[in-house]
Structure 1
Amino acid sequence: MVASGNSHPSKKALAAMAMNRRRLLALGGLTATAGTLAACGSNTGRDDGGDGINLSQWYHQYGEAGTQQAVEKYAAAYEDANVTINWVPGDYDTALSSGLLAGEGEAPDVFESHLNRSMVESGQVVALDDLYEGVLDDFTDDDLARNTIDGKLYGIRMIDDPQFLYYRPSMFEAKGITPPATFDDLMAAASELTTSDVKGLFLGNDDSATKLFQPIIFSAGQSLLTEDNQIGFDKDTVIAGALQVKELHEAGSLLIGAPTEAWDPTSIIQELCAIQWCGLWAMPQITEAHGEDLAIIPFPGFAGGSPTVFNGGWSAFVNAKSAHVEEAKAFTKWLWIDNEEYIQDWCLSYGFHIPPRLSMRASADALADGPAAEAVRISEEYGWADNPNWTPTMETAVDDMMTNIVLEGNDPEGEFDNAVSTIQTELDSIFG
């Protein structure tokens, strides 16, 4: 499930567009700042207008056909309140930030997002621990951790979206290439597969600079932040990885300026690239285009490290300033914990996503074999998730560092020190 993408920016614009839309929302939080509310489409999902409690539920605009109609169907089926769907195109995070500041009747009661400490400290969300009673062990540790701040659960996972490298085995076999096991292997394969018509690898239109910081550190067994909220990565690892990314950037094997961003499978479908980093959501489209000539691998490890898989996705939250908090919590529990039929429908009928509930993913026939089953396996073996204490300021610091090293050729040690200084200042301001 995806939203609209961005056009290819200039180098000077890269810092401002450091993450594609999906990573921006996955890694960033929503601060209580004013913004221009994006145009929104709404539908109650009911024919009779209903009586009693009125709730508003917000979604970003998913890309797969039928998704808006699906959430309207879910809303119409709920009998204990009249639920209006607000389907937000474009810049969802800005629209939601503005919406959460709006008055009663305009602000969302329930909304999808990604937990950030600022959401808790500014009083935007309520704790939902009580909704997990009896099912806590049916969620993955990662999905619980990404929705937890200071021991309290604030979100309920809706979908898990692992991201990995898609490729066509026939193209590898024609060149005598085996699936890359290391980042060096990936660089070599991308070079070998590049022709006058096809680029070897597509990682995104930001030229890969900002996207690979986290695979570098997680491959080395490090992390963004430690359990006690200290910086979890070291200079040698980051600089060595950044210089490898710079080498990849300069090799001429990356697809740049693709028609759509990497979250969209158009590039590999139209054979603009041989390998593409994309999410599980795109598997049905790629399978339709290439049939059984399709395989996936985790992102290969750096410098002898382990492969990595970013497990993205979305979670549901309840607005703490809603006039109907308890009713909003009841609806959220009904839809995202109790309703197996709708959870499976949402995850598997419009694109492929892994149901967050372990019992539900185990019973999902669509994920039982082939590349889809491999996606579940590698996401569980190599996956890593967002840290809700990692703030947008921290992410911007490392994105600027990678852009300046990889694209601008700046001194790696100086750029690392600048990023660490910014992150430490942020940590000090939050945790004292």
Structure 2
Amino acid sequence: MAVLLLVSLSALTIIVNSGAPDCGTRNQFRQYCFSFEYCTNFTCQSENCGRFPRNSVLLRIQQMRIIPQCAVTHSTTLKRISGISSGIQVLTSGSFAYLPNLESIILSFNQIRELHHGIFYNISVSLLDLSWNKITYISEGAFNGITGLTHLNLSRNELTTIPVEYLPRTVVKLNLSYNFLEWIALNGAKRPDLTSVDLSYNNLENVALSFDNTLEEIDLTHNNLKDIDFYDVNDCENLRIPSNSFSDIPRFLKYSKIRRVAIHPNPWKCDELKQLWEHLQNNNIEEEQFIDDSQPVCSINSTTISSLSRSVDLECENDNHCAKNQLCRAHKCWDPCNSACDSTNICNVENHGIVCLCTGLKRKNPHEVFSPCYDVECFTDNDCVSGNTCSFNKTCVPFHISGVEPIGVISSFGSNINRLDNVPWWYEDIPKLAPSHRISQN
């Protein structure tokens, strides 16, 4: 008997790639007994083993290690499913099926480790809370059977990567906090309704964000960020970057439309912090108050400073108030050649316009936003004469040479992404080389 039960439970864990679950008009509570409580509009009742009535509006799963196929199915009145601290370890294919009017599924504080294809089939739900589990893997199609999902909570799990391409397009609020993510690229074009992203308390070192819509909040608190690799956000109401490794002003911040920002604590250089304060003041960006006397504000030559004056000296109002080889930034005349170009570039500033050039035959990589000068012959076919192609060792060779495929120019859809080794890491998810949403700082 024990052997048969073990075989049955093992079989349940691999039911992940089937099509529509064969639920019929009945669920499987009779076949796989577990305790639950159900509520109708009139009464609530507990069951140790049985079927919940079709007119139930609430179902509380009390204790069950494996949720079997068709466990909860075929109810037009069911609004809420709750399984908090229910000992759940496995969700099988079709665990939740044919539920058109759900409002929420909350399965937090369990031991779920994987989300496979087909767990949710033909259901409509706005809130899915899978926080406080042990999820390490999300498969393609894990959310395909859900429509109308707006709030997805995957916080407090053990995710090291997140397959963002598998996330529903309808998500408005996404919570990925308290995981182990090291990098992420989010493209709002694929999720046009997304307005709130919580990435706090991860291990993020690389982040790329692109959104044409207005974001309510981006929370990057408590990661390992020294900068943000790519930031192209039309408008952000609230940006949070405390408890990272920022010492210099992030490159994106001077050119982005942000309403409110939290920047402390971070290991800021004092001169950078004063410039950042000036930028915030001059652009009417509200700074979130930080009160913690135990945390240094900034440092000068490795010496920490606990307080710093925020007084602002106005040196200029626009570029015309500065020398022709300078720009006006945050009411200070600024030499862009100190930071705008790579150290291998020749920096020229004329009439307040900046150009970063390479000398001799060296070339800049068109796929890098801040490219150094490389001693190569080509990066794309356009760098070669007619009849030649750019090989993978960055030399121009005739088309007829065996084994050589033209690199070409990247299309706006990134069709050549798998054949290019010099595109930014985010290009597959965000096919952009430079931000399109930039505000003037004159």
Q: TM-score range by the shorter chain?
A: under 0.3
- Bigger strand fraction: 2
Q: TM-score, normalised by structure 2?
A: 0.20
Query: Which of the pair has the greater relative contact order for Cα pairs under 8 Å at 6+ separation?
Result: 1
- Bigger helix fraction: 1
